[in-house]
Amino acid sequence: MTLINSAISMVYEHPTAKVALTIALALCLCFIFKHRGSSQPLPVINGRRFFEFSDKNLKERYRTNAKGLLDLGLKQNDAFYLHTDKGLRLVLANRYAREVHNNPHLSLSKAIEDELHCDIPGMEGYRQGYFPDQNMGNMAIKIDMRRAFESLVKSWSRDTSSILEEFWTDNSEWHKLILSPLVLDMISQLTAEVRSGPDLAQSPAWRRLSVSFTVHTFMAAADLDGWPRFLRPIVHWFLPSWKRLRADIEEARQIYDAATEARLNEKEEAISNGKTPPVYDDMMYWMEQRAGGVPFDACLAQLLIAQAMIHGTADLTTQAIFDIVERPELIQELREEILSVIGEQGLSVASLSNLHLMDSTIKESQRLKPLFLVTMKRYAEERIALSDGVVIPKGVQIVVHAQNMWDEAHYSNPFEFQSHRFLERRKIEGQEAAAQLATATTNHMGFGFGRHGCPGRSYAAAMMKILLCHILLKYDLKLTGGRPEVAKAGVLLMANHGAVIEVRRRQGELNLGPLSL
């Protein structure tokens, strides 16, 4: 205290010192106000506890209580760091979503590269620049698939009828089904022809690989996460999960190459006979055309397309069925809507879009249980200062919290399932588009948001509605053992994989052309 008192006395006794101190304080204040967003370190919400010498327990707490940690973070700040099973992430509140969307220095590709170890053999398909045109698949989905949409609706309905007969049977007695794996197989089969053409669609091995590739990809990535970076280029050769992933790819290449050769032979035969080469309505053909003769790894592209088409759609379909089956009155309402709309208008893209209650029901299922609690994963290629001064350091990965989906400011009784919620919103002027299942907004980020939002969400919506039309008109349904709990793993929320429902064949009220009801 003596030193402090002496310093204060010196300032008062010497005018020069007083001026110098005033200038120094003014400069400090200017610096603080100019850099107030970046000068204050952002909070780290979780970390090692006392006497924890590894991240094992930290990661386990994240895996089992990610939502609690995210809620805790938002109470402290709109931007905070969170230790995850993939490393440290900067979590941004939902209000930053548009800034993230508009910033060209925040890269999704780089984020995926970093998370999936894209320098390791087996993950090269996720590496930026691996394909000659990174937008090739998106363009095929957005443009080529759009042209074929009407015919796809008819074929999906036809295939749904035969798939249900195989998996759900025509048994008129109550019988039990484990729903999630059945729906996954059904979506895999329904998407197989548009992904890979009719020949590959008939291959059980190809359909199996189309599903297992995704599962094995993320299992392999998780196995390598726990190893130091400098050991990863070596240790992956000995990990069973990585051997299995590479075996999947090798088996897929053998099957795909045979199908490609068969198509090439068809083309050559047509040309030699003076005929026009065949044209196909599938991703296999569309992507080849969009490549414009530039060689690319078509087999790996197919596996990545399958990853995008199958798993998210299957999970949402499963959850929607759980939510519907829990409410017998909703089952009846949906049946009446199907009979009214499809019965009068027939099956088409337009009539499916007119199933407003079904659309609202699925969107509400997705609102309450999206696949992820956070979205808009990005890697900062440069140091970025957001509009309020928050700084994203170069090399940091960020995510945006989807908190608005459960915010009372946007949804009344936000944790209550209301099948009519978005149906009612359609009636509000200016809300008609935002209330639709296939529309992504900052208040409903189930399909992501911005330019990297799911490009095939309109097709997924149509496919889910076709499935529900068939299921609800053809089967009585009830839950076994109460409401299925959502499976949680970090920020990932999955429809219960082991939950059982009971079904029995009923006499459908419609027998309408391609619906085959």
Annotated binding site for heme: 454
Rounded to whole angstroms, the Cα distance separating 458 from 446 reads 13
Q: Write out the two tokens for 241.
A: 């999960």
Burial of 161 (0-12, 13-18, 19+ CB in 10 A): middle
State the Cα–Cα distance between residues 337 and 316, nearest whole angstrom.
21
Whether 495 and 138 have beta carbons less than 8 Å apart is answered as: no
For every residue of 127-183, DSSP letters joined together read: STTSSS-TTHHHHIIIIIHHHTHHHHHHHHHHHHHHHHHHHT-S--S-EEEEHHHHH
Which parts are annotated binding residues? Answer: 454
Residue ranges in 326-405 assigned as alpha helix (H): 328-345, 349-353, 356-368
Nearest to 228 by CA among 147, 304, 316, 117: 117
Residue 470 to residue 516: CA distance in whole angstroms = 9
% helix, strand, coil for the chain, step of 5: 60, 10, 30
Going from the C-alpha of 205 to that of each of 60, 187, 200, 241, 400, the distances in angstroms are 35, 15, 9, 19, 38
Largest CA distance in the chain: 107
Q: How far apart are CA 490 and CA 429, in angstroms?
A: 38
Amino acid, res. 315: D
The HSE-up count of residue 258 (CA atoms within 13 Å, CB side) is 9
- CA separation, residue 69 to residues 20, 405, 450, 491 (Å): 46, 17, 26, 10
Length of the chain: 517
What are the φ/ψ torsions at residue 299 (nearest 5 degrees)?
Answer: -65, -50
Cβ-proximal residues to 453 (8 Å cutoff; 6+ apart), any chain: 440, 447
| 73: helix, strand or coil | helix
